[in-house]
């Protein structure tokens, strides 16, 4: 039984993401995601990124105990970049949901 892998898979599927999508957001490969989901890999170095990408607490992801959602983040809600290309790259790395939020914001902002 691989309950940690089941939690990863369930959260990924709840978002409609493929393993590739989660891997990109978490900064790891699809094969690492697949191995974690299937219990073939116990590597914990990638779990913080996976938990962050899924929007769940690391403790809950690893153990199934505690708060499922992490406490409020102290990260700044903005990106810093030297060019529009850098901004685009940073936004694309956050995934399609964040890109769509940016597009909606840009479309509703008056010129």
Q: Read off the pLDDT of residues 8-57 as tens digits, 9 standing for 90 and up.
A: 999 999 999 999 999 999 999 999 999 999 988 877 788 989 999 999 98
pLDDT at 96: 83
Query: Is 40 among the domain residues?
Result: yes
Q: How far is CA 71 from CA 16, 66, 79, 109, in A?
A: 24, 11, 21, 31
Q: Tell me: do 29 and 81 sit in the same domain.
A: no
Q: Tell me: do 7 and 39 sit in the same domain.
A: yes
Q: Tell me: do 54 and 13 sit in the same domain.
A: yes
CA 80 to chain centre: 20
What is the Cα–Cα distance from 33 to 40, expressed in whole angstroms?
A: 10
pLDDT at 71: 65
Going by C-alpha positions, the residue among 18, 17, 19 that lies closest to residue 35 is 19
Q: Tell me: do 51 and 16 sit in the same domain.
A: yes
- State the average pLDDT for the chain: 83
Domain of 43, in residue numbers? 3-63
Query: Is 14 among the domain residues?
Result: yes
pLDDT at 75: 42
């Amino acid at each position: 039984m691989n309950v940690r892998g089941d939690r990863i898979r369930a959260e990924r599927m709840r978002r409609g993401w493929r393993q590739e999508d989660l891997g990109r957001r978490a900064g790891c490969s699809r094969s690492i995601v697949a191995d974690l989901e299937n219990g073939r890999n116990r590597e914990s170095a990638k779990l913080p990124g996976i938990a962050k990408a899924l929007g769940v607490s690391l403790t809950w992801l690893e153990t199934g105990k505690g708060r499922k959602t992490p406490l409020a983040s102290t990260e700044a809600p903005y990106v810093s970049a030297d060019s529009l290309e850098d901004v685009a790259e940073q936004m694309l790395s956050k995934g399609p949901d964040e890109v769509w939020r940016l597009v909606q914001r840009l479309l509703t902002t008056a010129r």
